[in-house]
Amino acid sequence: MARKSNRMSKKKPARAAAHSSSTNGTKTAAAKWVGQPIRRKEESRLVRGRGIFVDDEKMPGMLHIRFIRSSYAHAQISRVDVSKAEKFPGVVCTLTGAEIKKQVQPFIEIGPGGAQKIADYPMAVDKVVFQGEPVAAVVAETRLAAEDAGELVEVDYEPLPAVVSAEDALKDESLLHPAMGTNRNWHGVFEYGDVEKAFKQAAHVVHIGRLHFHRFSSTPLECNVIMANWDPRSGDIEYHCNNTFPSFASQFLAPALGVRIDQIHMKSFDIGGGFGIKITSYPYMAVCALASRKAGGRGVKWVETRIEHMQASAHGNERVFLDTRVALDQNGVILAIDSKHVDDCGGFPRYEPLGCVIWAQVLPATYRLKNIRIDMHQVVTNKCPVGPNRGYSRMQHLWFMERVIDICGQALGIPADAMRVRNYIRKNEMPYKTPNGCVYDSGDYASMLEAAKRLIGWDGWKKKQAAARSERRWVGLGIGSTLDSGTNNFGQARIINPDAPFSGQSKVGIVKLDIYGEVVVSMGSVPQGQGHETAAAQVVADALGITPDLVNVRPGFDTAHNAYTGHTGTYASQFAVTGLTAIHGAAMKLRKELSRLAAWKLEAKEKDLEFGIGAQGPEVRAKGTQKAINYWALANLVNVNNAGMPKSLWDITLNCRHVFHANFEIPDVQRKYGNLTLTYAAQIHAAVVEVDRETFQPKILAYACVDDCGKAVNPRIVEGQVHGASAHGIGAALLENCAYDSDGNLLTATFSDYTPITAMNMPELLYAHMESPSPFTLNGAKGMGEGGAAPVHTICAALQDALYPSGVIIDDSHNTGDSLFHALRKAESGGYAAMVRVEHRTASR
Amino acid sequence: MYAAPFSYHRAASLEEAVTLLRELGEEARVIAGGQSLIPLMKMRMARPGALVDIHLISGLNGIERSNGELRFGALARHAEIEDSRVASTIPILHDCAAGIADIQVRNQGTIGGSLAEADPSGDWGTALMALETSVICFGPGGERTVPLEAFIKDAYTTVLAHDELISGVHVKLPPKGSGGAHLAFKRTAPVYPTASASVELTLEDHHLCRDARIVLGCVGLTAIRAKEAEVALRGKTLDEKSIRTAVDAARAAADPQSDMRGSADYKRVLVGTLVKRAIGIAARRARGESVPAGHEYAGR
Ligand SMILES: Cc1cc2nc3c(=O)[nH]c(=O)nc-3n(C[C@H](O)[C@H](O)[C@H](O)COP(=O)(O)OP(=O)(O)OC[C@H]3O[C@@H](n4cnc5c(N)ncnc54)[C@H](O)[C@@H]3O)c2cc1C
């Protein structure tokens, strides 16, 4: 492997070359470590309790902040009185929304038009729009003093009618943000092909009533934690926090706080889970900085409690799908879909309305359908603002598409597997251009489905199902096909707002040889359990012909490492593509520098050199000779021993930085057309679920996951991600729901009510991996980890199959024994009769 | 999540605990495993001004068999009962102990604390009411023994005086031919059940029901003894018909409320099913079969 490397090092660094058909033509060194299921480097630290989390850190003289939060979902604030709290022993200062308003600009709004009039301040100023919204803060010497004093803050509210459903929001009877003039903060029609013509030609038209994708979240083990210090001398703000998209946060914070972006220093180390939900922690980051400034430049720490997290960090997007019409041909092939979707983003848009386009990355899901019209709306409601929760915006749409497939299949008497195979995009159509200009890079959905069926024993279960049905048992088999699109093109934001000043995608990797010859990698990524240190070490080990344990990867994000761009963060399933390509590029630059240095020192030609490990550690040697120079000596030449070095080598820094680019264009805003994302990992799951006839509880009898994320850089990490995403999805399908009452009170603000999934609820997961390498990426890898909520689709499909004969239509993504009990009652009284209507235009086969 | 200020006192004996409670007055509370009290204090829903810790009182954590009874010290932990050979002679006790919350809670929480808390959804109140259980209360005047059904007065309310504590729990060993089961449905491990049912049967000739106790949990302000349901079985042959009558009577006896665990309608249905299944398991156990049972979890 090392022997070939000099030839390969002359090649152009590998890059995402969109539309190239070769899968590994850009490979630069034979993969010895990439592709191996090695144990995670970070494990040892984490399982020994040596992880470093923000709450483990202290600043000298550090203070603690506590928020006072609205108990109302929608109310005018008539009075805030902090005077008693300020007198409490140990209290240093307080902050109120009205006070903050004078010091900051409202945060940037991404949405166009009226949405620009939303004034999103870090704390509520004169009205609150969701329960838990902060209205004041107390800063004290101890956490306990802050808690005690917080109880002395007096706030008077004049309640306003709460808007808790998307449909009610559209009525505009009670406005959250009166300046916007409506609750609808975004609207656009996504129309492709000839929808009306397809309906005219259809053999069957299926009309589907309201479908609802529920609100759930991610409940990372570690809630938001922020430590901030606004230094009165430099005017710089230092953050230690667990925000997972630090570049995005900085770009929101700098204009709001009136500092230059280079004055914001941000650091994270180990993070106890994120799943996207921590991206929108910037309002709290702003308050912590303002508190530090008011306290005279002392550090301020905020450790979010679970109730705060549940009420007022971020939830996933909720969406309703209305007035759906589906045109099908005689064989159940979908010709067209026409539907109205209303997304509910809670009290403030924040990252939204990006979700109003991000779903379009997977517009036709895994299907070949060409004609589609989605009338997309987004509304604000008196609920917790949403954030990009794992599977963000695509899972809602994919769930809708899977419901459409299953409901149409049931209505036309076509089995779920056949329905999918007839509609799936075929392997030989890859790379496949979707009606809206996205390019699915690779994949073989039909073979994945076959694999999932084999894994679970589909045919055997079919027989058992028939037997069970004859005993009046409710057993259902379900399939969920989903996509995990990764490496997004921020240019899609233009479809939301033509003035949005961002596009493309970038990530930074830095690989350096330190003074004593250590290989050190800095990445801009913000891992929260995805094993970035390990994967990065595997890539660098291959590039330099060494072993992963010789590669020191700096965990976490640090602006001081200068390894970031404005896109830097860990989100949208992409590190395997963006981060690793950047790191690979940097490693190859370093390799080139080492090669030039060694050629000079060893008096050899670069092409005669090889990289490897010698008696004195990693080295470069002249093939077929005794001549070799190790990394220490090479680093020494540049750093502390450079007299006599020829001028031609003075450009060598041994500190190599590389920026990932993808071949993205700015989409056509008028047509809402363009390539919105680079890779499409796929998951096909299958499940057998029985609904107990006496308890109505759904029980998972068997569960299989087939995953294809292209080349797996580390199959062990991939499998772990699939397990995690599956648990999250099963939890969402059966247990986890952010339920609000009609006054906008969150009913699930503790784990006793939200019931995040535990090991006791998990079925055994059968797992198989397939590899359809991406033609667009280095090594053929695709981003993964979000998982596309495959279990939500799969479990709904299985429940549908189990209960369809009883007249139930599964119209919600969240189902419990209780809800199924009521669904069956509703079915008994014919309650679903109007839900699905089938028009047969010609005789069905 | 920080408790309001309180003072902390550690009692070395029951007498000292009683004295401390009296001296510290109404705002003092006993703390045992802390698994009900501490979460409430952290949310500041409970604000005791003083805590009297009874952990170091010796002789309060044993589990022994004597005089035809199983005797639990008030500090016997759920996990200790789960693992106890002695306690496993009454299967219903193992069913109950092994399914309470998660392992952390079971390692800390105590049988005495559970009964004193009198949470309407607590498992011990339900399971122990299916047996002949007495609560030993220790106060300024010494010990008194109160039958469990008289001990729990209402939701979160017992007969304990302010300066009185539970020192032990005595359970009479059921007669030969008896078997019982405690079944509970839970959404996830660390939460209280949605509904639970405890059934203890004494059979003659494997089918004739000599005696029956049927208790419903989480569907009323206290555990509910479904006496009509018991009547439906007592003196009858256990068959589909008598069981159905008992189940219907149990459903009628339930008085559930809607909450995030489930709607009232649903809980009523669920508790009936749990009763039916518990009867089946109790009967098999009464016939000498060893049948695993306990808590069931959503999804599995
Ligand atoms: C996450 C979680 C889930 C749970 N799930 C379940 C469940 O599924 N089923 C279930 O049954 N329970 C459950 N519990 C409660 C658990 O069983 C507690 O252990 C029990 O309710 C209280 O026992 P304790 O020893 O912890 O009492 P503590 O919390 O210490 O005290 C509770 C109350 O009893 C009083 N007290 C304690 N000991 C005595 C005594 N000896 N004499 C007089 N008064 C006393 C205290 O003053 C206090 O008022 C759960 C608890 C948690 C935290």
**Percent of chain A whose pLDDT exceeds 70:** 96
Class of domain A18-32+506-566+578-661: alpha beta
Q: What is the DSSP string of A746-808?
A: BS--SHHHH----GGGPPPPEEEEE----TTSGGGB---SSGGGHHHHHHHHHHHHHHGGGT-
For chain A (845 residues), the mean pLDDT of every run of 10, in chain order, is 36 37 42 95 93 94 98 98 98 98 97 96 98 98 97 98 98 98 98 98 98 97 98 97 96 97 96 95 98 97 98 98 98 98 98 98 98 98 97 98 98 97 98 98 98 98 98 98 96 96 95 97 93 97 97 94 94 93 98 98 97 96 96 97 96 98 95 97 98 98 98 96 97 98 97 95 97 95 93 98 97 98 97 95 58
Mutate which: A742, A761, A765, vs B, most B CBs within 10 A? A761
Q: How far apart are CA A590 and CA A586, in angstroms?
A: 6
CB A735 to CB B299 under 8 A? yes
Q: Residue A816: its pLDDT value, please?
A: 98
Q: How far apart are CA A282 and CA A247, in angstroms?
A: 11
CB B28 near ligand 1, within 6 Å? no
Q: What is the largest CA-CA distance in chain A?
A: 92
How does B129-168 read in b/e, with b if 16+ C-beta sit within 10 Å? bbbbbbbbbbbeeeeeebebeebbeeeeebebeebbbbbb
Cβ–Cβ under 8 Å, residues A389 and A354: no
Residues of chain B contacting residue A151, judged by C-beta atoms under 8 Å apart = 44
pLDDT tens digits, A428-448: 999 999 999 999 999 999 999
ipTM exceeding cut-off 0.90 for this assembly:
yes
Q: How far apart are CA A707 and CA A772, in angstroms?
A: 10
Strands A551-554 and A519-523: parallel
Fold of A188-216+314-491+667-840: Aldehyde Oxidoreductase; domain 4 (3.30.365)
Altogether, the residues listed in chain B come to a count of 300
Q: How far is the CA of B226 from the centre of ligand 1 (A)?
A: 25
Cβ–Cβ under 8 Å, residues B98 and B123: no
Q: How far apart are CA A706 and CA A484, in angstroms?
A: 13
Q: Residue B48: its pLDDT value, please?
A: 97
At residue A434, φ and ψ (nearest 5 deg) are -80, 165
CB B194 near ligand 1, within 6 Å? no
Q: How far apart are CA A494 and CA A496, in angstroms?
A: 5
CB A763 to CB B299 under 8 A? yes
Question: What is the token pair recorded at B195?
Answer: 């509904």
CB B34 near ligand 1, within 6 Å? yes
Question: What is the token pair recorded at B54?
Answer: 């009874």
H or E element that contains A375 = strand A371-379
Q: Domains of chain B by range and CATH? A: 7-53 (3.30.43.10), 63-172 (3.30.465.10), 178-297 (3.30.390.50)
* Those residues with Cβ within 8 angstroms of residue A796's Cβ, 6 or more apart along the chain or in another chain: A399, A402, A403, A406, A478, A480, A733, A810, A813, A815
Q: How far apart are CA A11 and CA A16, in angstroms?
A: 14
CB A735 to CB B187 under 8 A? yes
Q: Residue A15: its pLDDT value, please?
A: 37
Determine the 3-state secondary structure of A78 from DSSP.
strand
CB B300 to CB A756 under 8 A? no
Q: What is the dihedral of CA A6, A10, A11, A16, to 10 degrees?
A: 100
Residue corresponding to tokens 């307080």 = A94
Asked, as a colleague might, if the bond just before A353 is cis with ω within 30 of 0, I would say yes
Q: How far apart are CA A142 and CA B31, in angstroms?
A: 26
Q: Residue A29: its pLDDT value, please?
A: 53
Q: Which atom of ligand 1 is nearest to the CA of B96?
A: 11
The domain ranges of chain A are 18-32+506-566+578-661, 55-160+224-303, 188-216+314-491+667-840
Cβ–Cβ under 8 Å, residues B11 and B56: yes
Q: How many CB atoms lie within 10 A of CB A149?
A: 24
Question: What is the token pair recorded at A572?
Answer: 């949208």
Question: What is the token pair recorded at A253?
Answer: 């914070």
Q: What is the DSSP string of A182-223?
A: SSEEEEEEEEES-HHHHHHH-SEEEEE--EEEPP-----SS-
pLDDT tens digits, A558-569: 999 999 999 999
Determine the 3-state secondary structure of B22 from DSSP.
helix
Q: Which of A19, A336, A376 is nearest to A184 (CA)?
A: A376
Q: Residue A90: its pLDDT value, please?
A: 98
Q: How far is the CA of B278 from the centre of ligand 1 (A)?
A: 25
- Given CA atoms A515, A517, A518, A524 in this order, what sign does their dihedral have? positive
Ranges in chain B, pLDDT < 70 = none
CA A476 distance to own-chain centroid: 30
DSSP E strands, A85-124: 91-96
CB B164 near ligand 1, within 6 Å? no
Instruction: Give B228 to chain A, closest Cα distance, Å.
Output: 21
Question: What is the token pair recorded at A515?
Answer: 């003074």
Q: How far apart are CA B242 and CA B230, in angstroms?
A: 10
Determine the 3-state secondary structure of A503 from DSSP.
coil
Helices (H) and strands (E) in chain A, counts: 23, 30
Q: Residue B300: its pLDDT value, please?
A: 87
Residues of chain A contacting residue B277, judged by C-beta atoms under 8 Å apart = 694
Cβ–Cβ under 8 Å, residues A120 and A282: no
Cβ–Cβ under 8 Å, residues A798 and A477: yes
Q: How far apart are CA A770 and CA A451, in angstroms?
A: 9
* Those residues with Cβ within 8 angstroms of residue A142's Cβ, 6 or more apart along the chain or in another chain: A64, A90
Altogether, the residues listed in chain A come to a count of 845
Determine the 3-state secondary structure of B9 from DSSP.
strand
Cβ–Cβ under 8 Å, residues A418 and A453: no
CB B100 near ligand 1, within 6 Å? yes
Q: Which atom of ligand 1 is nearest to the CA of B29?
A: 47
Instruction: Give B153 to chain A, closest Cα distance, Å.
Output: 25
Helices (H) and strands (E) in chain B, counts: 11, 15
Question: What is the token pair recorded at A615?
Answer: 């008696």
Nearest CA in chain A to B4: A148
Across chain B, mean pLDDT equals: 97
Indicate the top mutation candidate among B9, B13, B21, B114 to test ligand 1's pocket, ranked by most ligand atoms within 8 A of CB.
Answer: B114
pTM of the model: 0.95
Cβ–Cβ under 8 Å, residues A680 and A364: no
Asked whether this chain's domains A18-32+506-566+578-661 and A188-216+314-491+667-840 adopt the same fold, the reply is yes
Q: For A116, which DSSP code? A: G
Q: Within 13 Å of residue B29, how many CA atoms lie on the same side as its CB?
A: 17
Q: How far is the CA of B36 from the centre of ligand 1 (A)?
A: 4
CA A737 distance to own-chain centroid: 19
CB A699 to CB B300 under 8 A? yes
CB B39 near ligand 1, within 6 Å? yes
Cβ–Cβ under 8 Å, residues A342 and A379: yes
Q: For B299, which DSSP code? A: B
Question: What is the token pair recorded at B146?
Answer: 């109160």
Residues of chain B contacting residue A734, judged by C-beta atoms under 8 Å apart = 298-299
Q: How many CB atoms lie within 10 A of CB A184?
A: 18
Indicate the top mutation candidate among B6, B22, B31 to test ligand 1's pocket, ranked by most ligand atoms within 8 A of CB.
Answer: B31
Nearest CA in chain B to A308: B1
Interface of B with A in 95-134 (CB under 8 A): 102
* Those residues with Cβ within 8 angstroms of residue A568's Cβ, 6 or more apart along the chain or in another chain: A245, A246, A247, A506, A507, A508, A524, A525, A526, A557
Strands B28-31 and B142-147: unpaired
CB B122 near ligand 1, within 6 Å? yes
Q: Which CATH number describes the domain made up of A55-160+224-303? A: 3.90.1170.50
* Those residues with Cβ within 8 angstroms of residue A87's Cβ, 6 or more apart along the chain or in another chain: none
Q: What is the DSSP string of B135-202?
A: EEEEETTEEEEEEHHHHEEETTEES--TT-EEEEEEEEPPPTTEEEEEEEEESSTTS--SEEEEEEEE
Q: Within 13 Å of residue B283, how many CA atoms lie on the same side as its CB?
A: 20
